[in-house]
Structure formats: structure tokens, C-alpha cells
């Protein structure tokens, strides 16, 4: 009998301990669900707010619902459209989309003329700055276009000079080449070379090392007129070569020079003054003007590339300036932004004249 009573007491203690653990765990879960900051949470009670933050689109939806709460009513509402006698839709101020568009149009016709008058009478500092910047950009565009025309003219003159040299004959000279035994080192490969053939060796050595690198783009060059880039398509990489056409050692080889071809390099006096004559020595053996035509064409093409890049930069600046000017005086900008100018409004109403004095 005593054994049974003791067993009952033990079972009651276990049951109480189990109930205590359940209540303790429920309290912990309620505390976990709370925010953990208010007094109710500190007293181990749930305040009703969840600590987990809502996502961005959920907050936006809640804000939208709060903004249209005053419109979501079962009571009939009158449509806000002009001269409309219908009932507004649930959650809207208008009975249809056409009523909303008519009201917006009426507001534009009512407010926009006054805003345009204010804009025309008051001077805008940003507008004046943009106009000055636009003038500078247009002057730069004019200079770049004139430089491109001058370079095209130089290219045409060079073609005419080369064609004239092809029709000329070799002029023999009695001058003997000096026996120069000096040597030097190549700046590309570092080998010791003879001074007489140094220019020819350095050119070939540079071409050899330049062919090992590649300059490519996935877009073909689109320039009106003569293209100055190689634009050779490589099907392995799917790119177009972007070297200068006349200087590309990988895809364009120098034409063979015949024994009767004249050098044709234009002669100058005092370094810069042209004489109107050209070299009549054989092109094959003239080391003084070695590949002068190739270098001259490369110089012209490099200047053309520089002018095209400058032209593209100026056009981009012009587009940004025009976009800023059009957005400043647009319908949306005039409707949303307005600065009340007391001097202009007094002049409009006739309270003062242009000198700032009351009219006599």
C-alpha cells in the first residue's frame, strides 16, 4: 500500500515536471516570435510583432493598400471626372480610364500656359551654361570635320604623287656611297648590325615581333569612305583585326618592288620646305627613304583615327547637353517644378514696370 502511494507521488512529480517544461518551452517560443525589445517581450509575453523583417515588394504592397484604403468602401462615390455623373469604381476616383485622362488633360491646359510664360520670362542659369557648352562643342565638331577633310586631301595628294613616281624613270647619279664600317645594336632584338642597313633590319625585326600579337574586336569598322583598319575576319576567334591596314604585318604583305621602280619620296629643303621634286633613285636600293610611303600613310591614318575619336566624344557630349536642355523645359518638368518669382509675377500683373517702380 505504501509502495503504491509512493508510485503515485512519483508519477505526479513527473507529470508536473513535464507540464512545467511545456509551459517553459511555449514561453520561449512566444519570446522567440516577439521582437525582443518591448516591455511585453521582456516580461516573456508576445507583443504581437514579428522580428522577421518583411521583404521590399511586400512593404510596397502594404503601402499601396494603405494609400487606397480610403477608396475601398462599399458606399457609392461620385466620379471625379469633369462633367461626369457616374459612380466611381471600387478602389478608384473615376468611373473609367477616360475620365482620368480627361481630368489630366484639363489640368495640363490650365496649368501649363502659366508655367510656359514663367519659363520664358525668367532666365535660367543652367540653360545659359548649356548653351555656352553647346557652342564650344559645335566649334570642336567643326574643327574636327575640317581636320578630317584636310587629311583626306593629303591622302589624295599622296596617291597622286605615287602615281606620278610610277611613270617616272630612274635618274642615275654619280654619287658613291661612303664606305662606312660602323655598327650598332638593334633596339628590338639586340643583335649587332651594320649602320648602312640598320633601318631595313629594324623594320623587318619590328614586323616580326609585331605579328606575334593580335588586336581584334567582334565588331566590324563602319566608317563612311575609305576604311583605315585591316578588318580581317578571323573565324577561329570570331574577331576583326583592328591594326592599321598599311601597318598590319599579319594579313597584308608589302608588294614586290621591280628593278625599274622609282623611290618617289618628295624632297624638302631645310627639313620642312618642299621643293616639288622627288627622289629618282631605284626604290629597291634606296635606303635613305626606305618604306617612306608606308610610314606616311600610317601617319595620316593615325591622325584620322585621333580625329574620329575626338568627333565621337564631342557628339556624345552634344547628345548629353541636348538631353538635359530638353528635359529641363519639358511638359513633365514644367508641370512638376515651379519657382515663384515675385518680380516676374508683379511685372505680369502690372504692379511694377521694368525698372522695378510702380507704374505712373
Return d(Cα 297, Cα 161) in angstroms, integer: 12
- Quick one: DSSP state of residue 247? G
DSSP state of 71: G
Q: What is the pLDDT of residue 31?
A: 42
In eight-state DSSP terms, residue 38 is S
Alpha-carbon gap, residue 176 to 191, rounded angstroms: 28
CA distance 190 to 13: 99
Q: Are 265 and 289 within 8 A, CB to CB?
A: yes
Distance of CA 331 to the CA centre of its chain: 27
Q: Alpha carbon of 293 to those of 110, 219, 283, 289, 300: distances in Å?
A: 70, 29, 11, 9, 11
Question: Which single residue is written with the C-alpha cell 570570331?
Answer: 238
Helix (H, G, I), strand (E, B) or coil at 318: helix
Compute the distance between CA of residue 287 and CA of residue 24 in angstroms, rounded to an integer.
Answer: 101
Burial degree of 283 (CB within 10 A; 0-12, 13-18, 19+): buried
3-class DSSP assignment, residue 68? coil
Q: For the whole model, what pTM was predicted?
A: 0.58
**Sign of the torsion angle spanned by Cα atoms 281, 283, 284, 288:** positive
Please say whether the beta carbons of 38 and 47 come within 8 A.
yes
pLDDT along the chain (360 residues), means of 10: 45 49 45 48 48 53 56 74 87 88 88 79 82 95 94 90 85 62 82 82 82 81 77 87 84 80 86 83 84 89 92 94 84 74 68 58
88: CB partners within 8 A, 6+ apart: 71, 76, 77, 78, 79, 80, 94, 95
- What gap in Å lies between CA 77 and CA 88, rounded to an integer? 5
User: Domain residues of the chain, as ranges?
Assistant: 95-169+291-337
Amino acid at each position: 500500500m505504501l509502495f503504491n502511494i509512493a508510485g503515485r507521488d512519483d508519477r505526479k512529480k513527473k507529470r508536473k515536471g513535464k507540464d512545467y517544461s511545456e509551459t517553459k518551452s511555449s514561453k520561449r517560443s512566444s519570446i522567440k516570435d516577439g521582437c525582443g525589445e518591448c516591455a511585453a517581450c521582456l516580461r516573456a509575453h508576445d507583443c504581437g510583432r514579428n522580428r522577421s523583417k518583411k521583404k521590399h515588394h511586400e512593404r510596397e504592397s502594404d503601402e499601396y493598400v494603405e494609400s487606397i484604403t480610403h477608396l475601398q468602401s462599399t458606399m457609392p462615390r461620385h466620379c471625379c471626372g469633369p462633367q461626369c455623373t457616374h459612380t466611381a469604381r471600387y478602389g478608384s476616383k473615376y468611373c473609367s480610364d477616360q475620365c482620368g485622362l480627361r481630368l489630366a488633360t484639363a489640368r495640363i491646359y490650365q496649368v501649363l500656359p502659366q508655367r510656359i510664360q514663367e519659363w520664358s520670362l525668367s532666365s535660367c542659369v543652367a540653360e545659359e551654361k548649356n548653351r555656352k557648352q553647346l557652342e564650344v562643342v559645335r566649334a570642336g565638331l567643326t574643327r574636327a570635320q575640317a581636320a578630317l577633310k584636310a587629311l583626306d586631301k593629303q591622302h589624295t595628294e599622296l596617291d597622286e604623287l605615287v602615281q606620278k613616281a610610277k611613270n617616272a624613270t630612274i635618274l642615275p647619279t654619280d654619287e658613291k656611297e661612303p664606305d662606312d664600317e660602323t655598327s650598332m645594336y638593334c633596339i628590338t632584338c639586340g643583335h649587332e648590325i651594320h649602320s648602312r642597313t640598320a633601318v631595313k633590319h629594324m623594320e623587318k625585326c619590328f614586323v616580326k615581333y609585331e605579328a606575334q600579337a593580335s588586336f581584334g574586336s567582334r565588331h566590324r569598322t563602319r566608317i563612311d569612305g575609305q576604311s583605315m583598319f585591316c578588318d580581317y575576319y578571323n573565324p577561329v576567334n570570331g574577331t576583326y583585326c583592328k591594326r592599321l591596314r598599311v601597318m598590319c604585318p599579319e594579313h597584308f604583305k608589302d608588294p614586290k618592288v621591280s628593278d625599274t621602280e622609282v623611290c618617289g619620296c618628295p624632297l624638302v629643303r631645310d627639313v620642312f620646305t618642299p621643293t616639288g621634286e622627288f627622289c629618282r633613285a631605284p626604290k629597291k636600293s634606296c635606303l635613305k627613304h626606305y618604306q617612306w610611303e608606308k610610314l606616311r600613310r600610317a601617319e595620316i591614318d593615325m591622325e584620322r583615327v585621333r580625329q574620329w575619336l575626338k568627333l565621337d566624344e564631342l557628339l556624345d557630349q552634344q547628345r548629353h547637353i541636348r538631353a538635359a536642355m530638353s528635359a529641363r523645359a519639358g511638359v513633365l518638368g514644367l508641370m512638376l517644378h515651379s519657382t515663384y518669382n515675385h518680380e516676374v509675377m508683379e511685372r505680369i500683373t502690372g504692379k511694377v514696370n521694368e525698372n522695378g517702380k510702380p507704374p505712373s
